[in-house]
Amino acid sequence: MIRSLATQRPVYVVGVGVHPYQRTSTTSYVTLGLHAVREALADAGVAWSAVESAYTGTALLGIAASRPMLRHLGATGIPMAQVENASASGSTAFRQAVIDVAAGIGDLSLAIGVDKPDLPRSASQKTGIGDLLGPRSAPAAYFAMLADAYMARTGTSIEEVAHVAVKNSRNGAANPWAQRRKARSLAEVLAPPSIAGCLTRLQCCPIGEGAAAALVASDDAIESFGIDRSRAIRVLSSVSRSERPSEPGEDGDTQLTRDTVDRAYTETELSGEDLDVVEVHDAFSIEELLYAEALGLCAPGDAARTVVAGEFDIGGRCAVSASGGLLAMGHPLGPTGLGQIAEITRQLRGEAGERQQPGARTGLAHMVGAGSVCLVHVLQRL
């Protein structure tokens, strides 16, 4: 029997921190990570000594990354674990911290995501089992083919797909933690070079470096440490699923997203119509359209027209990728999912500044990772 968070102790996000995402530099991952952790501790108003467990999400650093980083805060003997789940590493670290608190194993747990650029080494290359494409299939090419299929199926134009990047660049320009901080016109987004098919450079996410962190707490911790309850954001659902055989003609990640969010909606008794802010895995512009439909934010085939109509803008019906998404905020892998949690937390607190979605109360963070895996978190202001 699979139990939901609704049957466990309440869990709250009480502190978030982000080191700005940036191009590769000489900055060490320790400096990146500690910046985010210290910011999260200060945001919650608690000391490092209060933290009872820590999970580090990283896809590129290598083994044993937690201790060389966190020892600079003090050796407290807490359990630490490193989490790797491709692009969903940070989301999975967050889920582990949430489970610790929900199950009563601890009252205050840290999730941190941190990475520096490197060539990923996939375990699939060591299985000894070949496939038809091998290294010849690049993600951009795969999603360009999905874009072609989507446009043929729905009558969407190349310009309508590109509007996703226009919207997200505008949001990223107002985000001090974003790697791409310049609003782009439709003409700029459509300008060469093409990376694959209709997907131009600005319709593909940048992969740089950065860090993000979140502290999750129980009611007991909020009372014990005098944490400001008015800024505590409830984690209503944390769902993780992996791939199953796809239905004929459907993209596997889209189906996986639908499976994962359906369980989250069942657990929370919510639907896409109840969401005010959403952060999705928009590594390529077409992904936001596919996942918006899978999340039930609009009818199948209507996502592009919904974007163009401004319904997914900040101030629209539901702010999608208010951070700028992966397209503008960036996708350093390990931190990406936790950066989403930080954005939604700030939105639900009313602390997002120029990016603030008016009246935001309920948010959803969505990440997919190679494997394939998908994680969905639903957060709500009390």
Nearest to 367 by CA among 94, 17, 66: 94
5-118+207-233 and 137-177+235-381: identical CATH topology: yes
Please spell the DSSP secondary structure of 56-84, one letter per residue: EE-SSS-S--HHHHHGGG------EEEE-
- Three-state secondary structure call for residue 320: strand
Q: How confident is the model at residue 164 (pLDDT cuts 50, 70, 90)?
A: very high
Q: How confident is the model at residue 3 (pLDDT cuts 50, 70, 90)?
A: confident
- pLDDT per position as a tens digit, 339-374: 999 999 999 999 999 999 999 999 999 999 988 999
Identify the residue whose tokens are 């700005």: 20
H helix or E strand, kind and range, residue 162: helix 158-173
Q: How confident is the model at residue 152 (pLDDT cuts 50, 70, 90)?
A: very high
The reported pLDDT for the residue numbered 210 is 98
The reported pLDDT for the residue numbered 251 is 86
The reported pLDDT for the residue numbered 309 is 98
> Beta strands 199-200 and 80-83: pairing type?
unpaired
Q: What is the CATH number of domain 5-118+207-233?
A: 3.40.47.10
Alpha carbons 326 and 340: distance in angstroms, whole number = 9
Say whether pTM exceeds 0.85. Answer: yes
- pLDDT per position as a tens digit, 46-78: 999 999 999 999 999 999 999 999 999 999 999
The reported pLDDT for the residue numbered 280 is 98
**Token output for 203:** 């319709």
- For the chain, the structural domain boundaries read 5-118+207-233, 137-177+235-381
Fold (CATH) for 137-177+235-381: Peroxisomal Thiolase; Chain A, domain 1 (3.40.47)
Cβ-contact 220, 230 below 8 angstroms: no
Q: How confident is the model at residue 108 (pLDDT cuts 50, 70, 90)?
A: very high
**Token output for 172:** 């990223």
DSSP state of 37: H
Please spell the DSSP secondary structure of 235-292, one letter per residue: EEEEEEEE--PPPTT--HHHHHHHHHHHHHHHHHT--GGG-SEEE---SBHHHHHHHH
Per the DSSP assignment, residues forming a β-bridge with 381 are: 233
| 64 to 80, 81, 122, 222: CA distances (angstroms) | 10, 8, 18, 31
Alpha carbons 190 and 308: distance in angstroms, whole number = 15
Q: How confident is the model at residue 118 (pLDDT cuts 50, 70, 90)?
A: confident
